[in-house]
Structure 1
């Protein structure tokens, strides 16, 4: 949710953000009108409450006929106070409904436009070249006995799979390597719930434009999460945090679920775009003034992971229309996938400023004792999709795959993944 003070004091900034996102700037005017109605209704309620309190004092001091007359007035006033209270509540709900349709104001420098309007910030590593016909990750995975799509579809349907043998070990190795990096940088590990209440899912901003990608269990009124960001954001909902010792960092390990609605026909081969996967997600609560510096740190840790795994990649500044409602800025790190001759997203990290914290009522106590919303940030540190880039980048002519040196300790020292059946 956006800051109501910012809405009142600088509506043009929010309109410009909406324009850059490709969203309706008229919503800002609607929100201003709803805010004025809300404040007026609250003011009227408070005026009547003060009048009611003053009448109560007069009634207590009166006697006889005067008291009877005052009691009648108090009863009439009580009805008006109740009506004003209901009007104030209704006006607050109406304001909330309008303002929740406005995305987080973007940070200066975020490119305007949609999915294809990102800006490349840097490219790192040489593009892999092979003197043999390169195999894609699924062919390699089948040769290694690592990926079984056919049985995944048999058991669960399209876009499901089994990781088996070295495939299962490889995912656990990547995730464990990422967890060690998170621990080394002060993150507290959490294995999070993957079912959350509607108010938590809504609070993080995942029930907006992309709600059709979320699995919902109506009998239980619970949502399956597509990232542990949701549970991690809800972890401190309705709390006042102590940030005197710096940011609070969590690393959430979870299975994630996405319907991938609207992606029919895209990436149907292999495990690039699937309904279920594992992920280690970084999540940070910090002071608003420190959020941009923390954002840079999250990207740096992601880049360290890709460099240690020997992957070529680029970092992009995502355009406003592709941010989602919660993020004020998002950097994606995309690894080169040789058989697609393209960069594909492996990690994403977002600065959500105070947007999620306002919706989930997460605050800290500032100087002077006043409570104010914290800033939240999130970023992927490892996920199942990394297997795609790793297998294709480090493949060899005979179908074997070289294990990056940094990953070998997590695979018992294994240096090469060999096709099944090879001695």
Structure 2
């Protein structure tokens, strides 16, 4: 969450930079008007509390002198009632200000491209060369169904559209991929965790999904509980409300978890295949760092995700997202997109973001600097990788003319030596 004090000090700067993220200047003006009202109410209450203290002293003096204090007592009751009213109004104003501030996205880094959507994203680098096929490559959903390793029809029958059954070697391929990913991240210093898959509203607020994006998730009716859209939520909230010892920073954690997404607003997009599912597995990376280290850690995290694809032999490129395409909590985001031959394009498989202290403010995650002062940590998150999309990429990039799929060498130990999936 943004610091309202900083917005108050330089509203024009916040209007300029948040304007690149679709925030209207009027939203900043409305927030500052409510903040001014809040501060005025608090000031009035403090003045009356001071007055009440004076009156209390007068009453005590009158009683010691055995004088009539009825007028002073009546006056103090009136002041007390007014203070109660002002406190209630101030508390409401605080809630309004906090809610308005909580709906503002993070301030974008000044170096990222400015633009309304993905058309303004900038490619940083390409890694690997897309394979040239001697035949027309098939889409992964066709390959999966023909090899009898993916069953979309029964997934839809049992749960609805955008659900799938993995079968046989398809299930084994998914399992091989996420075990490989977790092992590779462990080599890079990440501590593997198994997290809760259902979290409370405070956790969803901490990472920025609530209050603005409730329509994007699956909530448990009648309860303050949500099925996680990503393991970023429980991993980042692990230290919510805590002070992390400075000597422990940076902290690296990773987890495999299912991700549950309502995909609100995605009607008609990626209706076939594994790209846009309501339930999918993802390996997540999260870091807690000191502020001065967070951008170096973002590059390392991006390299960690890229290393997985390089070892799998999957061509990809890295792009920096524009202000209009970036996620709500992010200051800077690098997306890694894998080459999908059947679509003849790159598709997102990992998104690595630095949120600076945006999430740490919401979740109250701090550390003490060398002077003993409490400061907010910076948090980072990234996919390492989205497992279903990696399955799709392996199927399409490693397909053969006869419809079989060769298993990448690094996965064969995880596949118990299987080298090829055949009909």
Q: CA deviation at 1:182?
A: 2.0
Counterpart in 1 of 2:353?
Answer: 350
Counterpart in 1 of 2:415?
Answer: 411
- Distance verdict in 2 for CA 1:99–1:408, change over 3 Å: same
Q: Deviations along 1:341-398, whole A, 9 cap, x unmatched?
A: 0000000111111112222222223344432322211100022211011111111222
User: How many angstroms apart in 1 are the aligned matches of 2:242 and 2:144?
Assistant: 46
Task: Report the TM-score, using the length of structure 2 for normalisation.
Answer: 0.93
Counterpart in 1 of 2:4?
Answer: 4
The residue correspondences of 1:52-201 to structure 2 (distance < 5 A) are 52-57=52-57, 59-62=59-62, 63=64, 64-65=66-67, 67-113=69-115, 114-201=117-204
Unpaired runs of at least 5, structure 2: none
Q: Contact 2:274–2:389 at 8 Å: present in 1 too? A: yes
Unpaired runs of at least 5, structure 1: none
Q: Contact 1:323–1:329 at 8 Å: present in 2 too? A: yes
1:32 and 2:24 matched: no
Q: Contact 2:15–2:23 at 8 Å: present in 1 too? A: no
- Partner of 2:119, secondary structure, is coil
Aligned-residue CA RMSD (Å) = 2.0
Counterpart in 2 of 1:223?
Answer: 226
| More displaced stretch, 299-308 vs 204-213 | 204-213
Q: CA deviation at 1:66?
A: 5.4
- Distance verdict in 2 for CA 1:56–1:251, change over 3 Å: farther
User: How many angstroms apart in 2 are the aligned matches of 1:390 and 1:178?
Assistant: 14
| More displaced stretch, 221-230 vs 204-213 | 204-213
Q: Deviations along 1:32-86, whole A, 9 cap, x unmatched?
A: 2222222222233333334434544554455222555443333333223222221
1:394 and 2:398 matched: yes
1:246 and 2:246 matched: no
Q: Deviations along 1:274-316, whole A, 9 cap, x unmatched?
A: 1111111111222222221111111010111110110100111
Q: Contact 1:243–1:286 at 8 Å: present in 2 too? A: no
User: How many angstroms apart in 1 are the aligned matches of 2:53 and 2:298?
Assistant: 50
Q: CA deviation at 1:193?
A: 1.9
User: How many angstroms apart in 1 are the aligned matches of 2:215 and 2:76?
Assistant: 52
Q: Contact 2:178–2:283 at 8 Å: present in 1 too? A: yes
Q: CA deviation at 1:324?
A: 2.5
The residue correspondences of 1:379-390 to structure 2 (distance < 5 A) are 379-382=382-385, 383-390=387-394
Q: Contact 2:103–2:212 at 8 Å: present in 1 too? A: no
Q: Contact 1:146–1:168 at 8 Å: present in 2 too? A: yes
Counterpart in 2 of 1:299?
Answer: 302
User: How many angstroms apart in 2 are the aligned matches of 1:178 and 1:243?
Assistant: 28
Q: Contact 1:194–1:254 at 8 Å: present in 2 too? A: yes
- Distance verdict in 2 for CA 1:109–1:55, change over 3 Å: same
1:17 and 2:20 matched: no
Q: CA deviation at 1:129?
A: 0.8
Q: Contact 1:179–1:251 at 8 Å: present in 2 too? A: yes
User: How many angstroms apart in 2 are the aligned matches of 1:364 and 1:70?
Assistant: 49
- Partner of 2:110, secondary structure, is coil
Q: CA deviation at 1:270?
A: 1.6
Q: Contact 1:144–1:166 at 8 Å: present in 2 too? A: no
User: How many angstroms apart in 1 are the aligned matches of 2:376 and 2:58?
Assistant: 41
The residue correspondences of 1:244-283 to structure 2 (distance < 5 A) are 244-283=247-286
- Distance verdict in 2 for CA 1:370–1:47, change over 3 Å: farther
User: How many angstroms apart in 1 are the aligned matches of 2:57 and 2:178?
Assistant: 67
- Partner of 1:303, secondary structure, is helix
User: How many angstroms apart in 2 are the aligned matches of 1:13 and 1:243?
Assistant: 32
User: How many angstroms apart in 1 are the aligned matches of 2:254 and 2:286?
Assistant: 6
1:331 and 2:334 matched: yes
- Distance verdict in 2 for CA 1:182–1:60, change over 3 Å: farther
Moved over 6 A (4+): none
User: How many angstroms apart in 2 are the aligned matches of 1:417 and 1:59?
Assistant: 92
User: How many angstroms apart in 2 are the aligned matches of 1:73 and 1:46?
Assistant: 17
